[in-house]
Amino acid sequence: MSILIKNVLLDRSETHVYVEDNIIQEIGKKIEADCVIDGKNKAILPGMVNTHTHAAMCLFRGYADDMKLDEWLQTKIWPLELKLKPEDVYWGTKLACLEMIKTGTTCFNDMYFFMENAANAVDEMGLRAFLSYGFIDLFNEEKREKEIKKTKETIRNIENMRNDRIKPALGPHAVYTVSEEALRWIKNYADEKNLIIHFHLAETKKENEDFVKKHNKRIVKYLEEICFLDKKLIAAHCIWLTNMDINLLEKHNVKISYNPASNMKLASGVFNYQKMNKLTVSLGTDGCASNNNLDMFEEMKIGSLLQKSYFNDETIMPAKEMFNIATLNGAKALGFNAGKIEEGKLADILLMDLKKTEITPCHDLISDLVYSANGSAVDTTICNGKILMENRKVEGEEEILEKAKKVASDLISR
């Protein structure tokens, strides 16, 4: 299968982009292709890479907001999660994938439960994803054995799908929910299988203070001591860190996911971007219970504005830097060859509709994309060389909306 996107805006000039199989093969030549897309009045971009989310939590969107974190988790989110069934995760992930396709995300890093069902959803929807089972042993040996078994099984099942868009990953939840023994096992297993690890790090002040009080040691130092820090570790949030913590993360080339909307909505604290300039910082939306959407364009704006406001400097996190964070850095963090429109890269591609009020007059496209547009300006989404959305239409979207609505309502009343 080949696609030619002709007369499309790339950076500042019009050109042609030729995709064969799942690769951007040629830029600049009009090559005959199975499918030709007219790129007139469209700009070509790499797809957004969301490096931290819990996709199926789309089902909880708007179920509970404006509550204290503890009360929110204990009285709303956890009771609902206890009732989750595999089918819920399947439809929740389908809804999330649909939302991502419609708002220009082509790859996401996901941590949740019933991940084989999530994988089936991703398989059908055509996105690229790293899927990890959320490992939580609560320092209990018996539960740990079960979680190890579940993790191995999930990885094996996902591997057996032999879908090169879908990679299994390890998903230890956080230091306050996962034992040292488990973290050590996870790191070894990830090394053995050459998989990434997806982890929550220093998200809340309480997590940080409780740990220091209990262990008389900082979280990051502890993680270094147990040999958990690694270039294949994706650490989400990373708010409550000292300079020394950051140095350790640098030393081990840990990959960082900045999650501004969730951090703001849950009043978790503010990520310090300026101190992270030697690290690969990427962007994530977190789940829809705490965001409440998966729109990476909106996340770019909120993320840049938060830095400028909190650190009192209008020049921090400029548009072009933010755009790279949301695309190229995400691909770097997760370790796949995309994030740029360049020959040889994976064909994870967006076509943006330039005939939009929010992209007019268009003095600077990247500025307009970061500060003015949102995901609704995406016209076409291509992942791994396959067209998932054209002219904002996605196959089967009506059914997904209906089914997701139904499973969410059944879940609440169950």
Residues of this chain that bind its own copies (CB under 8 A): 58-63, 65-69, 72, 95, 98-99, 102, 261, 263-267, 269-270, 288, 291-293, 295, 298, 301-302, 305-306, 308-315, 317-319, 355, 357-358, 360-365, 367-368, 371-374, 376, 397-398, 401, 404-405, 408-409, 412
User: Nearer to its own copies by C-beta: 48 or 317?
Assistant: 317
- The least CB distance from residue 19 to its own copies, in Å, is 26
Neighbours of 213 (CB within 10 A): 8
Closer to its own copies by Cβ: residue 196 or 288: 288
Could you tell me the smallest distance in angstroms from the CB atom of residue 193 to its own copies? 33
CA distance 116 to 159: 10
Task: Indicate the residue among 188 and 309 with the shorter CB distance to its own copies.
Answer: 309
Query: Which is closer to its own copies, CB of 33 or CB of 100?
Result: 100
Q: Which helix (H) or strand (E) holds 70?
A: helix 69-71
Output DSSP code: residue 67. Answer: S
Q: How far apart are CA 189 and CA 3, in angstroms?
A: 39
Characterize 295-305 residue by residue with b for buried, 16 or more Cβ atoms within 10 angstroms of its Cβ, and e for exposed.
bbbbbbbbbbb
Q: Taking the complex as a whole, how short is the minimal distance between the CB of residue 88 and its own copies, in angstroms?
A: 11
- The backbone torsions φ and ψ at residue 315, rounded to the nearest 5 degrees and listed phi first, read -95, -10
Nearer to its own copies, 135 or 323 (CB): 323
- In whole angstroms, the minimum distance from the beta carbon of 143 to its own copies comes to 29
Q: How far is the CB of 331 from its own copies (least distance, A)?
A: 24
- Dist CA 284 CA 206 (whole Å): 22
Are the C-beta atoms of residues 18 and 29 closer than 8 Å to each other?
Answer: yes
* Cβ nearer to its own copies, comparing 97 with 183: 97
Residue placing its CB nearer to its own copies in the complex, 229 or 351: 351
- Kindly provide the b/e burial profile for residues 158-167, where b requires at least 16 CB atoms within 10 angstroms of the residue's own CB: beeeebebbb
Task: Kindly state the smallest distance separating residue 301's Cβ from its own copies, in Å.
Answer: 8
Helix residue ranges, H only, 266-413? 296-310, 319-326, 328-334, 365-367, 397-413
Question: For residues 69 and 48, what is the distance between their CA atoms, to the nearest angstrom?
Answer: 29
Provide, rounded to whole angstroms, the least separation between the CB of residue 2 and its own copies: 30
Nearest distance from C-beta of residue 324 to its own copies, angstroms: 14
**Residue 261 in 3-state DSSP?**
helix
CB of 263 to its own copies, least distance (A): 7
Task: Using the minimum distance from each CB to its own copies, give the nearer residue, 96 or 346.
Answer: 96
Nearer CB in complex with its own copies: 4/241: 241
Q: Which residues contact 37 (CB under 8 A, 6 or more apart)?
A: 3, 4, 5, 6, 8, 351, 380, 387, 390
Task: Check if the beta carbon of residue 115 is closer than 8 Å to that of residue 158.
Answer: yes
Helix (H, G, I), strand (E, B) or coil at 352: strand
